[in-house]
Amino acid sequence: MSEKIVPTASAHIAKTQNAQAFLQLMRRLHFMIGLFIGPFIFAAALTGTLYVLTPQLENVLYAQQLTTDAPGPPQPLSKQIDAALSYAGLDAKIAAVRPASSDTETTRVMLRFADSAPSETRAIFVDPKTLAVRGDLIVYGTSGILPLRTTLDYLHRSLLLGDFGRNYSELAASWMWIAALGGLLLWAVQRTPQRPNAAGTSPARKRLRLRRWHSLLGVTLLAGLLFFSATGLTWSRWAGENINLLRAHYGWLTPAVNTQLASNAPPMMMDEHAEHHGHMMHHAPDAPLSAAQFDGVLAAARASGIDAAKVEIRPSYQADKAWIVGEIDRRWPTQVDAVAVDPHSWRVTDKIEFANFGLLAKLTRWGVDAHMGILFGLANQLVLALFGVALCVLIVLGYRLWWRRRPAQPQHHPADTLIQAWQRMGLSLRFLLSVVLVLLAFSLPVMGISLLLFLALDAWRWYRAQA
């Protein structure tokens, strides 16, 4: 009987040691993420909050360009485009046209020039009734966001540091989900009392109160942290490429209209993030284009079921490519149907409907739009703003908690490091974690590099503790 009890007791002790070592690892990792990655997450949350709150401000700031109160019926779209081209000059190349979606809005003609930046176009705003040019602004990407939001978008995405700056937002998105899940685990196993012990010192009560608020706020924001981490990674520079490869391999990409006129080409796939990062395809012109073609293309698209008020016409400068007319109203219900139209015969050659998208394609579209504050309009904006502010508060509370604990226990746990926790684990747990870490490091390269820096810092600290 005793021979059976001893192995059982040994196994129980080993499991307990593994659990304690794993908790020590997660506690240390959570601390390091908060200390070193926290500022990047804070910056992403703050700039993202500013971004989602700007549409109404832009409507006021750019009212001259966006709206008109002129009476009378609208002129043909071709005349509106001619007015924009006459204003801009002969070297302008039409990238896209957005007809006025209501009686009080202007038509937007987006033009490219030889010196235009890769992701920017020059938008000419034309009064559809009087043909007067109401404004001339540089807009960003295929979404055509106006200058204020363009600046905030660059700020949120790269801190205005170009491609190098994109690593900051990828770093924040790569670690945020681990910080959230690790914090949930720590909260579950070591919850603070509802009321701090009255017998404790005043500083101890304040620390417990801070810890409780930090934990409860983190748990409340958990779903949002996971959502923004996942959707943010799809926009990232390195991890985003890996995610796109995975989606392409399993056929999860969003369908796009086939614009090929000369042959039966396979269906194309669309990048849902083009509205945000502004990737645009440009070809050398090899086919003539006239403003009159826009009238026929738009009429053909309307006849085929493109019935949203907000649409965009993208012409092709290649003779064997159709033009694209797509709905761009991504509020709920989502209207993003699109058709390919032959600009010479007005024949619709292909059509995609959002209703026929696969579930993953729909979820991707909704996820992207929710991340940008578009999906439910003002309600979406307010929720994102509240989340962003709460996340900033969560990070500040974490730093406040660290600062209050720091002076009181500088000499405790001199070698409380990731390496020390790793050494306390059993071989099987080490192997499992090694596999997970290698997969994460390859999938999320910025996380992998920063983890190496964490380990180097802890190795130095561990070495000093042993000296």
What torsion, rounded to 10 degrees, do the Cα atoms 137, 142, 147, 152 define? 180
Q: pLDDT tens, 283-315?
A: 444 567 899 999 999 999 999 999 999 999 999
**Amino acid symbol at 124:** I
User: Is residue 396 one of the residues assigned to a domain?
Assistant: yes
At residue 16, the pLDDT reads: 85
Cβ-based burial of 172 (10 A; exposed 0-12, middle 13-18, buried ≥19): buried
**CA nearest to 40, candidates 201, 142, 165:** 165
The verdict on residue 331 lying in a domain is: yes
Same domain, 118 and 211: no
Tell me the CA distances in angstroms from 371 to 43, 153, 381, one per residue in order. Answer: 16, 13, 9
Q: Are residues 400 and 343 in the same domain?
A: no
- 92 touches 85 (CB < 8 A): yes
Question: Mean per-residue pLDDT for 21-46?
Answer: 96
Domain that holds residue 333: 251-376
Confidence label for 362 from pLDDT (cuts 50, 70 and 90)? very high
Q: Given this model, what pLDDT does residue 134 score? A: 98
pLDDT band at 9; cut points 50, 70, 90? low
Given a cut of 60, whether residue 5 has pLDDT beyond it is: no
What was the pLDDT predicted at 192? 53
**Residue 181 domain-assigned (yes or no):** yes
**DSSP, res 142:** T
Examine the fold and report which residue of 320, 341, 376 is the final residue of a domain before the chain moves on: 376
Regarding whether 322 and 257 lie in a shared domain, the answer is yes
Give the model confidence (pLDDT) of 94-135 as tens digits. Answer: 999 999 999 999 999 999 998 888 889 999 999 999 999 999
Asked if residue 211 belongs to a domain, the reply is: yes
How big, in percent rounded to 5, are the helix, strand and coil portions of the chain?
Answer: 55, 10, 30
Residue 421 lies in a domain: yes
The answer on 397 and 345 residing in a single domain is: no
Structure tokens at 369: 């739009």
pLDDT over 70 (residue 352): yes
Q: Domain check: are 116 and 212 in the same one?
A: no
The verdict on 20 and 114 lying in the same domain is no
Q: Phi and psi for 414 in degrees, rounded to 5?
A: -65, -20
Q: Does residue 44 share a domain with residue 23?
A: yes
Q: Residues 343, 437: one domain?
A: no
Is the Cβ–Cβ distance between 252 and 286 less than 8 Å? no
Mean pLDDT score, 61-84 = 96
**Chosen domain end from 376, 405, 426:** 376
Residues 139 and 73 both lie in one domain: yes
* pLDDT for 283: 41
**What would the 3-class secondary structure string for 44-94 be?**
HHHHHHHHHCCHHHHHHHCHHHHECCCCCCCCCHHHHHHHHHHHHCCCCEE
Q: What is the mean pLDDT of residues 163-178?
A: 96
Which pair of tokens denotes residue 196? 């701090």
pLDDT of residue 269: 56
pLDDT of residue 231: 95
**pLDDT in the model for residue 277:** 46
Q: Is residue 386 part of a domain?
A: no
In the predicted structure, residue 276 carries a pLDDT above the cut 80: no
Least confident of 113-122, 333-342, 378-387: 113-122
pLDDT of residue 285: 47
Do residue 36 and residue 184 come from a single domain? yes
- On average, the pLDDT of the chain sits at 88
- The kind and range of the H/E element at 139 are strand 133-140
Among 346, 376, 406, give the residue marking a domain's end.
376
pLDDT of 396 higher than 80: yes
Task: Give the number of domains in the chain.
Answer: 3
Per-residue pLDDT of 413-423, as tens digits, reads: 555 789 889 98
* pTM reported for the whole predicted model: 0.88
Q: What is the pLDDT of residues 237-248, one digit of tens each?
A: 999 999 989 888
Does 413 fall in a domain?
Answer: yes
Tell me what percent of the residues of the chain surpass a pLDDT of 70: 88
Same domain, 255 and 367: yes
Are residues 69 and 49 part of one domain? no
In a domain, 446, yes or no: yes
